[in-house]
């Protein structure tokens, strides 16, 4: 099948690419030694053959190493830790009990293929025809021009999209499967469809195929080297490198000046230097998630939330959680409350003399904060003046795709894995779970770039932070998954900590709930449900973007938007109907709310002014502990 409009030979590095914010220029891949006119011809057959021999040798080594590592794991790990077999057994049973929808779906797919073949034939004859199917908005996989201009690749693309869409819609409409199981089936079906995309294979990705021809396969040799390195780094698990190792915490990221003023075995408390002559009397205490490290709040001066807060007159304290090892495997969720939140509240009082700071909880740090507020309310403890939640859930009935990982079989398998690892979950396993939520962006794009194109990943601070993973202690992690994701015990009033049953209705302090429209970890529909849980005044806002950029959005960037509505109707859909959109960052809205709760202005305090003397410079030592 001849393309009437041959593609001009072009390597991936010759096409201009928009750099990501905060990223250095992209590294170059293998150099093309010759550029055939067709774009899909081998530049030097002899060198190509030599490189293919090297690829074969590397592949043999790769396979041998993989088989050896897998053999060592036999009997040590569950055979199906994600319980995928159980989910699809239920699907097959439901299909067998009601085969008619499957017959109808298959007939519809066949008709779509007939239409595709007919339109492709007409296009070959020179007609202008509309595509049968197109990628969804935001799908970056098919950006290469030959997916549109080369009829062979256009046909491959549309065939894949038809099949992938059909597969996902079909399994999503099978009746007779329990809702939670149906959600898992849809999730893993999408994982399969994403994995089988033509962009992930040499012969069906025009960009990879061109570069392979032009460099005589040097990109594949380099890519296999990268793959072996990543397997070694992950100790047998594939640890895909998402960014060049160009960052050092405390040297070119996490640079806001401050001191460590308190430390125990779970947390270091950082107090940041003031940026103004006067500050609000009431300090601000922030609890980030322990699933990641705190310096997402302080990547660069241009987008540092910490820097912005100090410039707006706040005395800022941030908890830096330790990266736990086996010694801390039996630390509980209650320990994170007592040795984390309570210990930091005591330290803030000693450092400033203020007993009741305003407090922030981000992601799981917010879930811990919500639980702590309910615990404190049950004991008439009023040491928190107000609470802000960034992308944090208290009601988990609509918790998003992370809930697919918490059925009984998976939790038992996870417990076995953690016990075999000495009572901790490795940072790599946590990273894989989160990357699966956005597989095309965080897995397959790097498979193509690193292994098929043979390129080095770009230096990108956000992805460096994303790859700087932490371990999870067994007791805390299993409690969190069971009691929150599986049982939704906090919102139902059934969670008990330290002998106290937790009731969020008893929490009367002012609450600010931030959510993000595209958040796939703490969906805004889930966050909104907390507006009906607390007993005091609540403000809810919806920001643009997702779990990270929806929170870390400095006003100077003039990006995204946010929505506000002083009313809190029963559903978030009703809330959205009456919401007002404001361009830019939501930070000024929060500042207007928070400043009214922060007291009068006083001369700026510095770390060490109070009863606690500095133990070292920010960002501290805990943040530099690496996970394996």
Q: Structure tokens of 589?
A: 């809205």
363 is catalytic: yes
C-alpha to C-alpha distances, 223 to 54, 114, 451, nearest whole angstrom = 12, 38, 4
Q: Strands of 358-362's sheet, edge to edge? A: 580-583, 561-564, 538-543, 511-516, 386-390, 358-362, 284-287, 316-321, 267-272, 258-263, 616-617
Helix boundaries (H) for 445-523: 445-446, 461-467, 474-480
234 closest CA partner among 524, 492, 435, 530:
435
Q: Which of 363, 368, 374, 377 is catalytic?
A: 363
Residue that has been written with the tokens 């939704």 in this structure: 488
CA distance 191 to 442: 12
CA distance 26 to 179: 44
CB–CB of 358/284 below 8 Å?
yes
CB–CB of 486/398 below 8 Å?
no
Q: Structure tokens of 533?
A: 């849980």
Q: Structure tokens of 142?
A: 């098919």
- 28 C-beta neighbours (distance < 10 Å), count: 11
SS3 281: coil
CA distance 57 to 166: 39
Bond from prior residue into 335 cis (ω within 30 degrees of 0): no
Residues in the chain: 628
CB–CB of 210/9 below 8 Å?
yes
C-alpha to C-alpha distances, 492 to 348, 397, 502, 527, 533, nearest whole angstrom = 32, 10, 9, 15, 9
CB–CB of 332/474 below 8 Å?
no
473 closest CA partner among 405, 409, 422:
422
The catalytic residue positions are 363
């Amino acid at each position: 099948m001849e393309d009437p409009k041959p593609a001009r030979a072009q390597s991936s590095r010759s096409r201009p690419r928009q750099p990501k914010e905060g990223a250095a220029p992209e590294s170059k891949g293998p150099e093309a030694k010759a550029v055939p006119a067709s774009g899909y011809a081998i530049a030097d057959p002899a060198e190509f053959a030599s490189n293919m021999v090297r690829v074969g040798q590397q592949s043999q080594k790769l396979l041998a190493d993989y088989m050896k590592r897998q053999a060592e794991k036999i009997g040590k790990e569950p055979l199906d830790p994600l319980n995928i077999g159980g989910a699809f057994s239920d699907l097959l049973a439901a299909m067998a009990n009601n085969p008619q929808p499957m017959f109808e779906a298959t007939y519809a797919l066949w008709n779509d293929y007939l239409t595709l073949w007919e339109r492709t034939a007409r296009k070959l004859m020179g007609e202008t025809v509309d595509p049968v199917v197109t990628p969804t908005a935001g799908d970056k996989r098919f950006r290469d021009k030959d997916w549109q201009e080369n009829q062979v690749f256009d046909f491959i693309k549309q065939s894949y999209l038809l099949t992938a869409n059909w597969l996902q819609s079909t399994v999503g409409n099978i009746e007779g499967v329990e809702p939670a199981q149906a959600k898992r089936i849809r999730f893993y079906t999408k994982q399969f469809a994403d994995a089988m995309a033509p962009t992930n294979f040499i012969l069906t990705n025009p960009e990879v195929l061109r570069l392979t021809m032009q460099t005589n396969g040097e990109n594949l040799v380099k890519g296999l080297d990268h793959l072996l390195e990543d397997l070694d780094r992950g100790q047998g698990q594939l640890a895909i490198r998402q960014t060049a190792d160009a960052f050092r915490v405390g040297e070119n990221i996490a640079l806001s000046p401050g001191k460590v003023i308190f430390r125990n075995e779970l947390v270091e408390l950082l107090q940041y230097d003031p940026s103004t002559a006067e500050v609000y009397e009431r300090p601000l205490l922030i609890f980030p998630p322990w699933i990641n490290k705190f310096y997402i709040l302080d990547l660069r001066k241009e987008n540092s939330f910490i820097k912005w807060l100090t410039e707006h007159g706040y005395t800022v304290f941030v908890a830096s959680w330790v990266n736990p090892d086996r010694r801390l495997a039996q630390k509980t969720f209650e320990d994170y409350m007592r040795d984390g939140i309570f210990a930091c509240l005591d330290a803030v009082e000693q450092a400033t003399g203020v007993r009741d700071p305003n407090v922030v909880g981000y992601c799981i740090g917010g879930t811990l904060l919500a639980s702590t507020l309910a615990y404190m309310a049950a004991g008439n403890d009023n040491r928190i003046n107000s609470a802000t939640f960034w992308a944090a859930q208290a009601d988990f009935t609509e918790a998003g795709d992370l809930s697919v990982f918490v059925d009984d079989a998976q939790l038992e398998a996870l417990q076995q894995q953690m016990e075999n690892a000495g009572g901790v979950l490795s940072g790599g396993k946590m990273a894989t779970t989160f990357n699966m939520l956005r597989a095309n962006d965080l897995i397959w794009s790097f498979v193509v770039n690193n292994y098929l194109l043979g390129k080095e990943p770009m230096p990108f601070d956000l992805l460096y932070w994303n790859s700087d993973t932490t371990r999870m202690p067994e007791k805390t992690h299993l409690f969190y998954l069971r009691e929150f994701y599986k049982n939704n015990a906090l919102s139902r009033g059934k969670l008990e900590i330290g002998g106290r049953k937790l009731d969020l209705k008893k929490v009367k302090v002012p609450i600010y709930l931030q959510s993000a429209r595209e958040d796939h970890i703490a969906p805004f529909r889930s966050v909104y449900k907390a507006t009906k849980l607390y007993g005091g005044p609540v403000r809810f806002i919806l920001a643009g973007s997702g779990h990270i950029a929806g929170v870390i959005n400095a006003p100077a960037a003039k990006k995204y938007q946010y929505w506000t509505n002083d009313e809190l109707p029963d559903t978030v859909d009703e809330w959205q109907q009456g919401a007002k959109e404001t361009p830019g960052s939501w930070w000024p809205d929060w500042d207007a709310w928070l400043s009214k709760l922060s007291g009068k202005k006083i001369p700026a305090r510095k770390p060490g002014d109070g009863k606690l003397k500095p133990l070292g410079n920010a960002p501290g030592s805990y943040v530099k502990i690496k996970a394996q």
